[in-house]
Amino acid sequence: MTTAQPPEKPRLRTTIAGARVADLADTYGTPLYVYDAEMIRQRCRDLAAWDTVRFAQKACSNLAVLSLVRSEGVMVDAVSAGEIHRAMAAGYPAHDANQPGPDGLPPVHPIVYTADIFDRDSLDAVVKHGLHVNCGSADMIEQLAERLPGASITLRVNPGFGHGHSQKTNTGGEGSKHGIWHEDIPDVLRRAEWSGLQVSGLHMHIGSGTDLAHLAEVAEALERVAIEVGRSLTTISAGGGLPVPYKPGEVHADLSGYFTLWDAARKRLEDRFGHRLRLEIEPGRYLTAESGFLITEVRAVKRQGSRKYLLVDAGFNTLARPVLYGSYHPMSLCPKDAVEVVEDVAIGGPLCESGDIFTQIDGGFVATRPLPMAAVGDLLVIEIAGAYGFVMASNYNSKPLPAEVLVDGEKHRLVRARQTPDDLIRGERV
């Protein structure tokens, strides 16, 4: 991904995947998450070279999205009992087809539970459905062995280095709680053996929103650990982390070069072990980020000294990435009337908190964007919001979670209703 950044062009947008932004807002209200089904299908197909694409559903776990990726042959990762429940509600079977594929590859696990702990609910769900587990801490081994004797497991290994778009999304090295430390592998293999579990998979995920230079180092690190684990391995996983272009001037990564690198590592291991290895990739962001749009309505336009602010009806309760990581999202205006004038504006939400700004940079400093001049009632579309958007939304300030809509060809449909005031107080007692 290049980082050269040409000056940003002010943007206008009247449609999303062929549907009129104004119609979507009129029909479903705002703030509104909208996903482009065809874009998600395309992103799944981009990764067809891999034996298994496993969607890290934490990026966007709406049932309609899960069902869509499932129909593209994509498997799923779950990090909680809730995500296991979602996967099954979207039609993923709990159990593997027990036969190896016609290509001689070992059977695939439709759902894999990946985490650094079992909370009690997730352990119960894994046991109930007999799911495959990717263990990020050695303590999970004995906890699983006690409840599912003889199970096969994957080890998630922290290779001692990591990289993400933010320090908060770096999942490798000593600064990260994730994965089993690479130097502990011999000890962990002994623990697995004593517990009667088979280590059939190896997995590394060094961070989210990283770049291919860093990801390329993972194949080499995984190959070294795979040799230590030996012939019991039937699956290796490159984890997730594939970047998407958010900023002007950024471009898509060279996915075929990345696959070639992993495929070569896989083939060397197959030669060494004398049997086939399933090669998995586990993207979240890559499959859904670009498909997602957050439609908001401009509710106030004001000046604070020399700076102009647009205040919209979505805040960090709706999209948390800017306040959490200083993340950049492209934005465009869908005005009621034609506009000629362009101006630099800061864009914020409705929350009673100064950090409720979409145009902030790392450190919380307020920045501005060039946008066509907006008026109250215009719609502002926040783009590339389909990964870690809705799923990280909250009820802060007692704001209801927004609705979600899927646009597929000529049609659009509600795939999650907006929360109601009663939803906000459900379960509370005076």
Among all residues, which ones are annotated catalytic?
Answer: 352
Q: Determine if 412 is a binding residue for ligand LLP (CB under 6 A).
A: no
Q: Determine if 163 is a binding residue for ligand LLP (CB under 6 A).
A: no
Footprint of ligand LLP on residues 105-124 (CB under 6 A)? 114
From CA 238, how far away is CA 278, in angstroms rounded?
11
Q: Determine if 239 is a binding residue for ligand LLP (CB under 6 A).
A: yes
28 vs 246, beta carbon nearer ligand LLP: 246
CB 236 within 8 A of CB 266: yes
From CA 387, how far away is CA 64, in angstroms rounded?
14
Footprint of ligand LLP on residues 58-87 (CB under 6 A)? 58-59
Q: Determine if 282 is a binding residue for ligand LLP (CB under 6 A).
A: yes
From CA 421, how far away is CA 419, in angstroms rounded?
7
Place of tokens 């499959």: 287
Among 40, 34, 39, 129, residue whose Cα is nearest residue 78 = 129
Residue window 38-57: x/- pattern of binding to ligand LLP, with contact defined by CB under 6 A:
------------------x-
CB 297 within 8 A of CB 255: no
Give the strand pairing for 307-312 and 342-348. Answer: parallel
From CA 156, how far away is CA 343, in angstroms rounded?
48
58 vs 412, beta carbon nearer ligand LLP: 58
Nearest-approach distance from CB 400 to ligand LLP, in angstroms: 22
Footprint of ligand LLP on residues 166-185 (CB under 6 A)? 169, 171
Which of 143, 208, 296, 317 binds ligand LLP (CB under 6 A)? It is: 208
Count residues binding ligand LLP (CB under 6 A).
21
Footprint of ligand LLP on residues 362-401 (CB under 6 A)? 387-388
Which of 106, 283, 350, 400 binds ligand LLP (CB under 6 A)? It is: 283
19 vs 202, beta carbon nearer ligand LLP: 202
**Cβ density class 217-255: b for 16+ within 10 Å, e for less:** ebbebbbebbeebeeebbbbbbbbbbbbbbbeebeebeb
**Cβ density class 259-295: b for 16+ within 10 Å, e for less:** bebbeebbeebeeebeebbbbbbbbbbbbbbbbbbbb
158 vs 371, beta carbon nearer ligand LLP: 158
Nearest-approach distance from CB 151 to ligand LLP, in angstroms: 19
Which of 10, 110, 201, 209 binds ligand LLP (CB under 6 A)? It is: 209
Which of 118, 246, 286, 316 binds ligand LLP (CB under 6 A)? It is: 286
Contacts of residue 301, defined as CB under 8 A and 6 or more positions apart, other chains included, come to 308, 309, 310, 311, 374, 375, 376
Which one of 84-92, 141-149, 237-245, 249-257 is the stretch in contact with ligand LLP (CB under 6 A)? 237-245
Residue window 312-351: x/- pattern of binding to ligand LLP, with contact defined by CB under 6 A:
---------x------------------------------
CB 298 within 8 A of CB 310: yes
CA distance to 40, 74, 103, 237, 261, per residue, from 51 (Å): 18, 10, 10, 10, 14
Instruction: Write out the residues near ligand LLP by the rule CB under 6 A.
Output: 56, 58-59, 114, 169, 171, 205, 208-209, 239-242, 282-286, 321, 387-388
